[in-house]
Amino acid sequence: GDSVTQTEGLVTLTEGLPVMLNCTYQTIYSNPFLFWYVQHLNESPRLLLKSFTDNKRTEHQGFHATLHKSSSSFHLQKSSAQLSDSALYYCALSDMNYNQGKLIFGQGTKLSIKP
Amino acid sequence: NAGVIQTPRHKVTGKGQEATLWCEPISGHSAVFWYRQTIVQGLEFLTYFRNQAPIDDSGMPKERFSAQMPNQSHSTLKIQSTQPQDSAVYLCASSAHRGNTGQLYFGEGSKLTVL
């Protein structure tokens, strides 16, 4: 079945350093739709960015990610971490053509930014 | 727009008791999803409805969990004979069907604690 893998459970960084959170996926569908959701403490998950276009960079709120179908990856990056980036980040997968809307989430990566 | 509304926000039950969780999706959204969130498992898909019809309940523990959507503004998740391992935050989400790009809008969740 479909699955999403986030290899890091916890990432701790100093403010100002670059952020990279890994996400790889497995799916039988040819048109995967990838998402990053962010969940701050005591809040519900909300969409950060999304993409279904191969090799095209998508950006939002200083974060960016590029879907690479050849490597089944959708890593999240930011050039300079801020304290307010501390949160739980989920990578998620859906299929554009079938079961659209049902998201399969990875385990989540907790990002902790230190001053 | 009020967002997805979930009640109760917190529920404590004794082992073996029943728990019912309610969800009111965003007005006009035709798809409703239920997820379970725990520290260990992350966000697990349970079930979803589109235009009130059950589409996929592949994530539901079959014996004790059931979900209904009696009208377009209301969905319930019922857990019979609750067990300590059912303790989790249950998140409801909705999405628009027409022009759907897979974005889910989550409620604040119902935290269930089974003693």
Q: Above 90 in pLDDT, residue A15?
A: yes
Contacts of A15 by beta carbon, 8 Å cutoff, 6+ apart: A81, A82, A83, A113, A114, A115
Nearest CA in chain A to B96: A101
Residue B16: CATH number of its domain: 2.60.40.10
Quote the pLDDT of residue B13. Answer: 96
Q: Report d(CA B75, CA A73) in Å as an integer.
A: 35
B33 falls within a domain: yes
CATH assignment of A3-114, among 3.40.630.10, 2.60.40.10, 1.10.3720.10, 1.10.1040.10: 2.60.40.10
Domain of B59 in residue numbering reads as 6-109
DSSP symbol at A6: -
pLDDT tens per residue across span B42-64: 999 999 998 999 988 999 998 89
Residue A90 binned pLDDT confidence (cut-offs 50, 70, 90)? very high
**How many domains is chain B built from?**
1
Q: Token pair for residue B66?
A: 């059931």
Chain A partners within 8 Å of B97 (Cβ): 101
Of B42, B56, B107, which is closest to A105 when you measure between CB atoms? Answer: B42
> Residue B1: inside a domain, yes or no?
no
Question: What tens digit of pLDDT does each residue of B3-40 get?
Answer: 999 999 999 999 999 999 999 999 989 899 999 999 88
Position A62 scores a pLDDT of: 96
**What are the extents of the domains in chain A?**
3-114
String of b and e for B60-95 (b: at least 16 CB within 10 Å)?
A: beeeebbbebeeeeebebebeebeeebbbbbbbbbb
SS3 at position B86: helix
Nearest chain B Cα distance for residue A70, angstroms? 22
CB distance from B111 to chain A under 8 Å?
no
- Residue B104 located in a structural domain: yes
pLDDT at A93 (0 to 100): 92
Q: What is the pLDDT of residue B103?
A: 83
Among candidates A58, A68, A60, which has minimal Cα distance to A22? Answer: A68
- Judged by CB atoms closer than 8 Å, whether chains meet at B104 and A44 is answered as no
Q: How far apart are CA B75 and CA B84, in angstroms?
A: 24
Cβ contact, residue pair A50, B103, below 8 Å? yes
